[in-house]
């Protein structure tokens, strides 16, 4: 599945958990680990480069999401060299990486865990109310400052990010890439309007893709 679609699902699940379980309000209460690399290609990702690009994009966006929503991001630092010959599982001699990383992670949490007096006196009703407001604000923000353009199949996520950076276009994230359409989210109206002026309706077509790669 495309990385950005999974990130949207992770964001929705994290918000739902916080909304319905008010006690899960601290950074360490939710921890999501980075996905391991995988070299087992499929019909959706027929080459190793496409597959690894998708996995790397997911891990990058997951770390960004963890800072925005306030949950912990755990990276085991697994590389393709750690994988078994099936290109999917870890080699036996590297499985201790998982155990060691998890133990160190919890040791760190225990060492720095200090209860805040404010949080001790906070009522469950107040926490639920705060989480509900946070969820509604996030939901509302998702509907604002979004630019949609047609997209040819030639463009990859790295290409899109590079050309946006080349044109000094500030964007929050790429919401989705599906059905030959790209949706780009911005942090404010100013950045969105700036992008709207620079990104024409044919900005991401095959012709501009060829021109872009000739200039690189």
pLDDT digits (tens, 9 = 90+) for 28-85: 788 999 999 988 889 999 999 999 999 999 999 999 999 998 889 999 998 899 999 9
Question: Mean pLDDT in the chain?
Answer: 86
Q: Distances in Å between the alpha carbon of 89 and those of 86, 92, 102?
A: 7, 9, 18
Pairing of strands 72-74, 173-178: unpaired
Residue 122 has pLDDT above 70, yes or no: no
Mean of the pLDDT values across residues 97-114? 84
Mean of the pLDDT values across residues 86-110? 89
Burial of residue 171, with CB atoms counted within 10 A of its CB: 0-12 exposed, 13-18 middle, 19 or more buried = buried
Q: What is the pLDDT of residue 189?
A: 86
Which residue ranges form the domains of the chain, and what is each CATH number? 3-135 (3.40.50.12700), 145-215 (3.30.70.330)
Residue 121 has pLDDT above 60, yes or no: no
- Compute the distance between CA of residue 116 and CA of residue 8 in angstroms, rounded to an integer: 31
- Compute the distance between CA of residue 31 and CA of residue 140 in angstroms, rounded to an integer: 25
3-state class of 71 per DSSP? coil
Q: Count of H helices and E strands in the chain? A: 8, 5
Residue 22 has pLDDT above 90, yes or no: no
- 47-65 burial by CB neighbour count: b if 16+ within 10 A, else e? eeeebebbbbbbbebbeeb
Question: What DSSP string runs through 44-59?
Answer: SS-SHHHHHHHHHHHH
DSSP E strands in the chain: the ranges are 31-33, 72-74, 146-150, 173-178, 181-185
Residue 216 has pLDDT above 80, yes or no: no
Judge whether 145 and 197 are in contact, CB under 8 Å.
no
Mean of the pLDDT values across residues 194-209? 95
Residue 112 has pLDDT above 80, yes or no: no
Q: What is the pLDDT of residue 135?
A: 72
- Compute the distance between CA of residue 115 and CA of residue 144 in angstroms, rounded to an integer: 36
Lowest mean pLDDT among 27-31, 77-81, 119-123, 187-191: 119-123
DSSP class of residue 9 equals H
Pick the more confident residue, 52 or 115: 52
Q: What is the pLDDT of residue 165?
A: 92
Pick the more confident residue, 48 or 127: 48
Per-residue confidence band for 123, with pLDDT thresholds at 50, 70 and 90:
low
């Amino acid at each position: 599945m495309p990385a950005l679609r999974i990130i949207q699902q992770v964001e929705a699940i994290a918000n739902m958990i916080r909304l319905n379980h008010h006690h899960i309000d601290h950074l360490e209460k939710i921890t999501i680990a980075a996905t391991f690399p995988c070299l087992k290609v499929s019909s959706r990702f027929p080459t190793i480069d496409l597959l690894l690009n998708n996995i790397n994009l997911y891990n990058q966006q997951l770390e960004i999401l963890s800072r925005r929503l306030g949950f912990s991001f755990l990276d085991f630092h697994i590389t393709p060299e750690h994988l078994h010959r099936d290109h999917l599982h870890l080699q036996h001699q590297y499985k201790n990486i998982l155990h060691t990383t998890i133990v160190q992670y919890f040791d760190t949490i225990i060492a720095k865990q200090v209860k805040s007096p404010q949080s001790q006196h906070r009522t469950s009703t107040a926490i639920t109310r705060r989480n509900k407001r946070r969820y509604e604000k996030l939901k509302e923000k998702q509907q604002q400052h979004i630019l949609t353009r047609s997209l040819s199949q030639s463009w990859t996520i790295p290409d899109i990010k590079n050309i946006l950076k080349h044109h000094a276009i500030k964007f929050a994230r790429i919401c989705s890439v599906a059905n030959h359409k790209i949706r780009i989210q911005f942090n404010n109206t100013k950045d969105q309007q700036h992008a709207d002026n620079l990104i024409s309706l044919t900005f991401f077509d095959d012709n501009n893709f060829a021109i872009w790669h000739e200039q690189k």
